[in-house]
Amino acid sequence: MATKELTFQDVAEHNTKKDLYMVIHDVIYDATKFVDEHPGGEEVLLDVAGQDATEAFEDVGHSDEARETLEQLKVGIVKRKAGDPKPKAAPTGAVAASAQTEGAGLGVGLYAVVLVGGLIAYGAYQYLQQQQAAQNA
Ligand code: HEM
């Protein structure tokens, strides 16, 4: 489907149970068909109908499965205009901080693996050289 660009004003018009859009991370989703299926109930979706639901959605800590469902409801992206509500930040605070630490941890771990691997390879090379030298002697 071609990506539509709607303004916040356009999205705000879709704010009923029978016509329900919401914005998450600047992407517009049509949750109309999903309202009755939402495991978290229809109330919470109606609360954010026609609005930016990024915070509400992220606060719940939705699963990957929920994010896949979201992908299927995508209708377009928000075209921001002056005076529109600010984009809600992606995962913030603790989540972002822990993600960063995890990233750093992985980096160090990766270095260690490369270093140890290199040392082993070097050791094996030296050993083989010595073996060869001993054989040729
Ligand atoms: C179209 C957007 C949304 C989709 C596709 C969606 C999808 C889902 C799914 C699949 C679950 C089951 C648990 C999981 O897989 O994480 C869930 C649970 C839940 N959702 Fe949503 N959700 C949406 C928006 C929202 C919003 C805006 C709120 C607002 C607070 C919300 C509140 C909840 C809550 C409270 C639960 C937990 C229900 C429970 O465990 O009893 N959801 N959602």
Q: Residues 17, 60: one domain?
A: yes
Whether 74 and 96 share a structural domain: no
Amino acid at 25: H
Across 66-100, b (16+ Cβ under 10 Å) vs e yields eeebbeebebbebbeeeeeeeebeeeeeeeeeeee
- Residue 86 counted as domain residue: no
Pocket probe for ligand 1: among 25, 35, 60, the residue whose CB has the most ligand atoms within 8 Å is 60
Ligand 1, atom 41, residue with closest C-alpha: 40
Q: For residues 46 and 100, state if they share a domain.
A: no
What are the tens digits of pLDDT across the range 81-130? 877 767 666 555 445 444 455 555 566 777 788 888 888 899 888 988 89
Do 113 and 70 have their domain in common? no
Distance 3 CA to ligand 1 centre (A): 24
Domain residues for the domain of 57 are: 4-79
Residue 85 lies inside a defined structural domain of this protein: no
What CATH number is attached to the domain comprising 10? 3.10.120.10
Q: Is 46 in the pocket of ligand 1 (CB under 6 A)?
A: no
- What residue's CA is closest to ligand 1, atom 30? 56
ipTM value: 0.94
Q: What is the pLDDT of residue 75?
A: 96
Given the DSSP bridges, would you call strands 4-7 and 15-16 parallel, antiparallel or unpaired? unpaired
Residue 45 lies in a domain: yes
- pTM for the full model? 0.69
